[in-house]
Amino acid sequence: MLRLGPIAAAARRLPAGPCPGPLCLAGSRGSFARSWPPAGDRRPLFRQVRAAAAGGERVRVLKTPKVRAGSGGGAGAVPRGTRDHPPAQTALRDRLLSAVVSCFKRHGAAAIDTPVLELRETLMGKYGEDTKLIYELQDQGGELLALRYDLTVPFARYLAMNKVTNMKRYHVAKVYRRDNPATTRGRYREFYQCDFDIAGQFDPMIPDAECLKIVHEILSDLQLGDFIIKVNDRRILNGVFAVCGVPESKFIPACSTVDKLDKVPWEEVRSEMVGEKGLSPEAADRIGEYVQLHGGLDLIERLLQDPKLSQNKLAKEGLGDMKLLFEYLTLFGITEKISFDLSLARGLDYYTGVIFEAVLLHQENEHVEEAVSVGSVAGGGRYDGLVGMFDPKGRKVPCVGVSIGIERIFSILEQRLEASGEKLRTTETQVLVATPQKHLLPARLKLISELWDAGIKAEMLYKKDPKLLKQLQYCEDTGIPLAAIVGEQELADRVVKLRDVATREQVDIPREKLIDEIRRRLEP
């Protein structure tokens, strides 16, 4: 049996329900949700053209990729890293999104939307090494465009463009990444992100603590298994690099390499720092002494006394704020799930302060032979300088936010549903209007019209004279709770036989009282 917490339980009360099958999710700022290159699509995809306005810079434009035999591409297929969503999967996705959004609303966020297309210059230079994953386009009017890579940069552009200096927002929408798909891990080229952000000048660490509280609420309520939320601060990392002798110009490349520590051992990270990023072996060794540390308030106190770090202004600021953050998280009662982890770097260029990432430690999948490994399921951080990049006068709006990895969470819940064999509804129909004899189509049409006009969700079979057994079987197969049966005798007596599909009990209800009786039975 699928076990869901308060958020997912609330989702059961939302319209439509899901059923087993593949899921979709991955939303996230930074490395925890990637996307992928096309394959099997006959429409135009990647071409390289020279853009005169870009000073000879090569621009990616959609062009048809070649489909290898046996790759599953071609007519009748979807591009690699994308997929169709049947009703059951769509219902599950909608319920989960609605449940997560209800948490965002509980914290006072308002919804916004932005175009799926952005100007190329808006996105370039904001994602570090991941810039290469942006889908670049060129429209017929000559504008250099790109598909949005995440929801954070468009939000910053929106704030600057509309001169908004204070906002708490959420945004649920699809984003696109030209990466290699790993669909078994919930990684796609096209996927949903589910973001919550707080913009504005506030006292330190109060909004940051709320973002971490939101992640804790959602992951706890969904009962996905044990998890840990790693936190760090870009200022602490930059301070570490500085005291270890790394030139400032190499802070971002070093940061991107450190970000791989959750996937590869330190020896490989060190090798990349020295061999590819140009750091000295001595500097890499000194970095290794710091970035392999993790703990809580005790570690923060220890680093505040570190003879080198305590002399670095950035590191001292970051550690001071980290200490304050842990004090607030203690008041929220969630520090048992928080780990101060100096290996957390998050590869995006726009982070300026606190960064965090939620990771599932294991899955409680009793019915599945292999545990579902999906890695990070939420991530975010503070980006105080991003809005200023889009403001003509460089005015900054401090921001902090989090993105929930919806696609990956879908992958877990879908497999659980499949293993449990539980059937969930894909429609919201409340009543099936049925007739037991022939030549009663006009009676069905009249009754169903009355139900629709009263706001009741009703269906009927599209045959003139369907067998009653078939109509009742349809109710059981689709989970419709009530059947309103009108036959010759019911018409003569001006009643409707109302049948409870689950118990198979039925009772005659006067026609004029039918609507009220249906509403009474459907009340939670």
Of 340, 361, 382, which residue constitutes the final position of a domain? 361
Query: Domain check: are 304 and 320 in the same one?
Result: yes
What pLDDT score does 82 carry?
87
Write down the pLDDT at residue 32.
34
Domain that holds residue 310: 226-361
The answer to whether residues 63 and 145 belong to one domain is: yes
Distances (CA, A) of 504 to 427, 461, 477, 501: 21, 19, 14, 5
- At residue 59, the pLDDT reads 38
- Could you say which residues of the chain have pLDDT below 70? 1-75, 140, 183-186, 347, 362-374
For residues 148 and 254, state if they share a domain. Answer: no
Q: Determine the pLDDT at residue 433.
A: 98
Name the residue among 195, 202, 200 with its Cα closest to residue 175.
Answer: 195
Q: Please state the residue numbers annotated as binding site for L-histidine.
A: 150-152, 177, 193, 197, 346, 350-351
103-112 pLDDT, tens digit per residue, is 999 999 999 9
| DSSP bridge pairs for 174 | 192
**Binding site members:** 150-152, 177, 193, 197, 346, 350-351
Cα separation, 480 vs 493, in Å, equals 26
* CA distances in angstroms from 67 to 48, 133, 138, 304, listed in the order given: 19, 21, 23, 56
444 and 309 fall within a common domain: no
Number of domains present in the structure of the chain = 3
Q: In this predicted structure, what is the pLDDT of residue 130? A: 82
Q: Answer whether residue 375 is part of any domain.
A: no
213 and 341 inside one domain: no
Quote the pLDDT of residue 321: 97
Domain co-membership, 441 together with 414: no
Provide the pLDDT for residue 185.
63
Pair 236, 205 in one domain: no
- Residue 127 covered by a domain: yes
Same domain, 123 and 210: yes
**Residue 70, domain CATH:** 3.30.930
CATH code, 441: 3.40.50.800
Domain contains 377 = no
Tokens standing for 386? 């991003």
Domain assignment present for residue 310? The answer is: yes
